[in-house]
Amino acid sequence: MKVITGQNVSVHYRGTFTDGTEFDNSRERGEAMTFTVGSERMISGFSNAVVGMTIGETKSVTLSPEEAYGPRHEEAFNPVPRSAFGEDFEFELGGTVQGNGPMGPFLAKIHDLQGDTVILDMNHPLAGEELTFEIEVLSVEADEDDESWVPTMKKAELLQVARSQGLNVNTRSTKAQLIEALSA
């Protein structure tokens, strides 16, 4: 079964920068990622990359910043008084801080220290980056209302799906033949 928009998929992935440095790896965390293809909760380039893939297939895709976390925005650099941090806080350029602001919780990098002011970079940490993902589709959750299929279905179920798709199959077709026809 080929992945289509709207399906829930489970994938393993490895993300790297253009220089090959790894920034994320679901296998190392021991946790696959599950998401709905085409949902706004997933970066568009990653979601689009799994469309048309099949279970067990692996693909490598390189995404532009616009397909990933967007470009870096200069207006996302915000001055904050040092007094907003704890008395014992150790400021480190490039260090990450968490906080709560008028728009809710945030994650930022310390970009610069200017006297009593700390300049925070509120851009997503991967904004402006070209990213490469190696993606492996582990599972696809079929909608009960669609004509999707999975190899673990019984032969009779596969035959019904194949016929509903107008494929030239009959009761003499083996389960392997049905799967081959549906995969084409």
pLDDT at 146: 52
Over the range 46-74, which residues count as b (16 or more CB within 10 Å of their CB) and which as e?
bbbbbeebebeeeeebebebebbbbeeee
- What is the identity of the amino acid at 88? D
pLDDT value for 114:
96
The type of residue at 116 is D
**Which domains does the chain carry?**
1-72+127-144 (3.10.50.40), 74-121 (2.40.10.330), 149-184 (no CATH)
Bridge partners of 70, per DSSP, are none
Show pLDDT as tens, one digit a residue, over the chain (184 residues): 789 888 999 999 999 999 999 999 999 999 999 999 999 899 999 999 999 999 999 999 999 999 999 999 999 999 999 999 988 999 999 999 998 888 888 899 999 999 999 999 999 999 999 999 999 999 998 655 455 677 877 888 788 778 877 788 898 999 999 988 888 8
Query: Which among 99, 102, 104 is positioned nearest to 89, based on CA atoms?
Result: 99
| pTM, two decimal places | 0.68
For residue 166, give the nearest of 153, 181, 155 by alpha carbon: 181
Distance of CA 9 to the CA centre of its chain: 10
